Amino acid sequence: MSTPRITVAEMDAHIQRVCDTHGIERIGGRRAIAYRRGPAGRRRLGIRIPPIRSQITYAVALHELGHLIGPGRSGTRLEKEAAAWRWALANSIVELSDHARRSSGRLRSYVLWAEHRQHRRRPPRIPSPESPFWAVLRELEA
């Protein structure tokens, strides 16, 4: 017996439900970002995401939501990225295909970004070998 196929409309509706539940503004745009606007006491959370047209754009939207409502929002840049992907994978209503995981999860680019900046006076921190960051990276690249 096969599992029922989740449609793009259902993935889009899931993103909207999460936004509505947490009071997150959702706006369209080509480049996905999570943001916080306003003074600390009245801060509005939001995501700018492309339209949900595939598992890839769905995963990216979940990742941006993970930056706002998932655990691990403090820490180094790489740790925050991994935490947002971990939240996205855990909260997806569809098991992401290998292609979707590899295409949407660009954690490797953050590692390269950090490695190329190690010469700076205050270089970005690369997680230690035992950090959960590497497990998330392996899962996304599998």
The pTM of the full predicted model, rounded to 2 decimals, is 0.88
Question: What are the start-end ranges of the E strands in 32-92?
Answer: 33-37, 44-49
CA distance 86 to 44: 23
Helix, coil or strand: residue 7: coil
Write down the pLDDT at residue 3. Answer: 56
CA distance 137 to 102: 10
Weakest mean pLDDT among 10-14, 70-74, 103-107, 126-130: 103-107
Greater confidence (14 vs 73) lies with 14
Q: How many residues does the chain have?
A: 142
Which residues partner with 47 through β-bridges?
26, 34
Q: In this structure, is the dihedral angle defined by the CA atoms of residues 70, 140, 62 and 50, taken in order, positive or negative? A: positive
pLDDT tens per residue across span 8-30: 999 999 999 999 999 999 999 98
